[in-house]
Chain A
């Protein structure tokens, strides 16, 4: 069954702690993305990766870091430098970064920082 998995579904952390959100895809897609969804603000791009060992900042990268060591995995670390980390985080992938490629989304992780 092909798709994108994100774990865990819900995550709670204390303020000041780093936390890593998992994203795995078995669609053989080259490109992967991380978005943050906040009520009333839609989705905003945090980071994206076009290919293994390469990634670029999106619109709101401050306080986040990523890695892309394997094609199927694109973990996101929310660091203590992120001022407002409580949000719903969505991972997506597409065949590549070509112009006509649909992005497929995972189920999301809801992070709450206490």
Chain B
């Protein structure tokens, strides 16, 4: 069975600290990978995505993620967080196989940034 794991349920950081949120998936085939963010009271929106090519992907607001195929991971990073980064972050995966291009979500990581 395929799944997406986000092991950090709630992360609390001070402003200017560095951030890394873990995301692992369990599927041996080709994948498309996404990070979505849900700011308080706002729509879920796309932070960044990986389809192919350079495994280091840059997204909006200074976020980046690295696809490490051998580790089945797609961790999200930001060198210096701001209070406005307080939100819930979801990793999501599309498993590229015949007949199904559904998006599977992780359980989410809530990030609280303390000013």
Contacts and interface: CB of A to CB of B under 8 A. Distances in A.
Interface of A: 4, 33, 35, 40-45, 48, 58-59, 90, 92, 97-100, 102-103, 105-108
Contacts of A105: 36, 43-45
B105 A40 contact: no
A45 B90 contact: no
Contact of B94 (A33, A58, A90, A99): A99
B26 interface: no
> What's the interface size class on B, roughly?
20 to 34
Contact of B102 (A58, A106, A108): A58
B22 interface: no
B10 to A, nearest CB: 10
Interface string B2-25: 001010010000000000000000
